Amino acid sequence: MYFLKLRLLNSIHRCKTIRSLKQIHAHLIASGLLHDEFVLSKVSEFFGKHIGFVDYAFDFLNQTDLHVGTLPYNTLIAAYASSCTPKAAFLVYGRIVGNGFVPDMYTFPVVLKACTKFLGVQEGEQVHGVAVKMGFLCDLYVQNSLLHFYSVCGKWGGAGRVFDEMLVRDVVSWTGLISGYVRTGLFDEAINLFLKMDVVPNVATFVSVLVACGRMGYLSMGKGVHGLVYKRAFGIGLVVGNALVDMYVKCECLCEARKLFDELPDRDIVSWTSIISGLVQCKQPKDSLELFYDMQISGVEPDRIILTSVLSACASLGALDYGRWVQEYIERQGIEWDIHIGTALVDMYAKCGCIEMALHIFNGIPNRNIFTWNALLGGLAMHGHGHEALKHFELMIGAGIRPNEVTFLAILTACCHSGLVAEGRSYFYQMISQPFNFSPRLEHYGCMIDLLCRAGLLDEAYKFIRNMPLPPDVLIWGALLSACKANGNVELSQEILSHLLELKSQDSGVYVLLSNIYATNERWDDVTRVRRLMKDKGIRKFPGSSVIEVDGEAHEFLVGDTNHSRNEDIHILLNILANQWRIWAPLHSVKIINVDADTQAREEKVTLFLQKKMSKIA
């Protein structure tokens, strides 16, 4: 009998088809091993790997003696719970209980695991009720399973009640509720619970609380958790390291994030995604593309999430060639497009000025969401295609997509860049009226003011500012000030200066603009006064910058920067262009006034540079 049992167990292990199992089934009946608990558990494992034979599995177990023990039944339920169809586990559980099976303390956790996987809230609550009736609610293993079930399903109220009723709590209990709070967005509650822990946290605890710190921007708390991680014996592994990098990125502490990333002994796709996406979100697209290049060298294959971030970086830089390469990579690797990649491609092509390509990709996306529409509308608005933007806005409304605040910002920008004053007014009042009833932000007011200013309607723009429910910022006053310069309105500029003094703004642009307005009208005393005011307030003029893509590489230039590898060639070309401008301007009655305090020093540097260059050529 012993050797027969070994042969049958080996046959079960090697069994691949239901036909073979039926033959083994016959041998089990003939040999009397059908009621052997260990043999039955192995057969249950087979059924768990072959989901299509649920009815046969149930009939098979019906032929056994229920008194052999719960192991075969729990094994079958656990196998189904771990499969791709976890709901089968709950169905089998219900059928065998209906047939007289009495669950034990090992049954409830595996059934709850199945309910957790298919988010069966009602089914899990039924299991909870049975566990209470049978007196298993005092078991720590069952309590933790219930806690995990309610947390994953987003029922933090149920998870909290289970937690409060627990007489004994281990680290799994605390972590279960903390992670549940994080999943439902209750980040403050998660952090407060972490601070109350009376057991030593584990890796999962630290990861959950670091996620909460990152989402709330609690840098100091995150650093404290970082310190606790160092004190624990397990140190910083890949999972905790990724969570720390993500926390620092979310708190916009990129120096610490990059330092920690560089110190990670191993990096996976999550590590690269956290740092690259973080750099994009923190307006450092050039650095993100450099890291993406390093990631490819390391051999890590990018996924859709990281490719979406890279496309956003290309859009910010205007790196069209790089963005095209990313699209070709997606197609070459057979990566399936989703709504995020499609939207990122529309955004990239639109911002790079390839409107036709953006429209082509947009039209090929079957299920567009509001972000896809906003990407297209924003690109059309940016490049002066106002009528086309308004046309697509109406198509969006017709498709049943409800616009949001970003949508209206794109539409107002489109009206602004295309001089559509009447349309801009109409859409602004449509935004604040039913059925949308949005409260305009400063950006919306800024677009309207810019629209009126570009049309020369300075009085209406000034009245609009005075009637705003929000205090205007320096950018809004700057738009009006720019219009004053274009229209030669010095008196209104004087009023704007008083408002700027009230704002206590450190923005140098508006002061320089105001100074140039006075200079254009040869009011030199006022020029001196504005310059002295800037000096007294400690306002410095930050250098401007521009980015240009050459051969797939983005080059950034700052005013006064001399570190570029082809700096001398660039200055020779600029000097040629400047000489041509000096010849052209007087012939066309162009008046040039530049009163920048650094102008003379800069011209002396350029002259000295050119003298050196010419001496080398001679």
In a domain, 158, yes or no: no
Using one digit for the tens of pLDDT, what is the confidence trace for 537-591? 666 665 666 666 666 566 667 666 667 777 777 778 878 888 887 777 665 555 5
CA distance 300 to 259: 20
C-alpha distances (whole Å) from 320 to each of 281, 306, 312, 390, 604 are: 19, 18, 11, 26, 37
pLDDT reading at 341 higher than 50: yes
pLDDT reading at 421 higher than 50: yes
Last residue of a domain, one of 542, 562, 590: 542
Percentage, residues of the chain above pLDDT 70: 77
CA distance 82 to 48: 8
- Give yes or no: residues 536 and 594 share one domain: no
Percentage, residues of the chain above pLDDT 90: 45
Last residue of a domain, one of 494, 526, 542: 542
Q: What is the mean pLDDT of residues 194-204?
A: 93
The pTM score is 0.72
Provide the token pair at 22: 């039926």
What is the tally of structural domains in the chain? 2
Q: Which helix (H) or strand (E) holds 101?
A: none
Which of 261-275, 283-297, 352-366, 498-512 is predicted with the least confidence, judged by mean pLDDT? 498-512
In a domain, 377, yes or no: no
pLDDT value at residue 35: 65
Q: What DSSP letter does each residue of 333-393 carry, written as one string? A: TTPPP-HHHHHHHHHHHHHTT-HHHHHHHHHH-SS--HHHHHHHHHHHHHTT-HHHHHHHH
pLDDT value at residue 606: 46
pLDDT value at residue 23: 74
By residue count, the chain amounts to: 618
Q: What is the mean pLDDT of residues 480-503?
A: 71
In a domain, 356, yes or no: no
Q: What is the phi/psi pair of residue 430, to 5°?
A: -65, -35
CA distance 564 to 554: 12
CA distance 495 to 560: 33
Place of tokens 């740092």: 275
Using one digit for the tens of pLDDT, what is the confidence trace for 342-360? 999 999 999 998 999 999 9
CB neighbourhood size of 19 (10 A): 8
- Give yes or no: residues 473 and 526 share one domain: yes
pLDDT value at residue 611: 45
CA distance 615 to 598: 26
Using one digit for the tens of pLDDT, what is the confidence trace for 238-273? 999 999 999 999 999 999 999 999 999 889 999 999
From 398, 377, 401, 400, select the one nearest 387 (Cα to Cα): 377
pLDDT reading at 592 higher than 80: no
Domain span at residue 600 reads: 570-618
- Give yes or no: residues 494 and 537 share one domain: yes
CA distance 105 to 127: 12
In a domain, 186, yes or no: no
Strands 553-558 vs 545-550: parallel, antiparallel or unpaired: antiparallel
pLDDT value at residue 597: 44
Q: What is the mean pLDDT of residues 366-376?
A: 93
In a domain, 56, yes or no: no
- Give yes or no: residues 591 and 537 share one domain: no
Long-range contacts, 539-545 (Cβ 8 Å, 24+)? 539/506, 539/507, 539/508, 539/511, 540/508, 541/508, 541/512, 541/596, 541/598, 542/508
In a domain, 616, yes or no: yes
Using one digit for the tens of pLDDT, what is the confidence trace for 53-106? 666 666 676 666 555 567 777 888 888 888 888 888 898 888 888 878 888 888
pLDDT value at residue 553: 64
In a domain, 444, yes or no: no
pLDDT value at residue 466: 87
Instruction: Give the pLDDT band (50/70/90) at residue 434.
Output: confident
Higher pLDDT, 82 or 402: 402
pLDDT reading at 40 higher than 80: no
In a domain, 591, yes or no: yes
Using one digit for the tens of pLDDT, what is the confidence trace for 108-153? 999 999 999 999 999 999 999 999 999 998 899 999 999 999 999 9
Residue type, 518: Y
pLDDT value at residue 617: 40
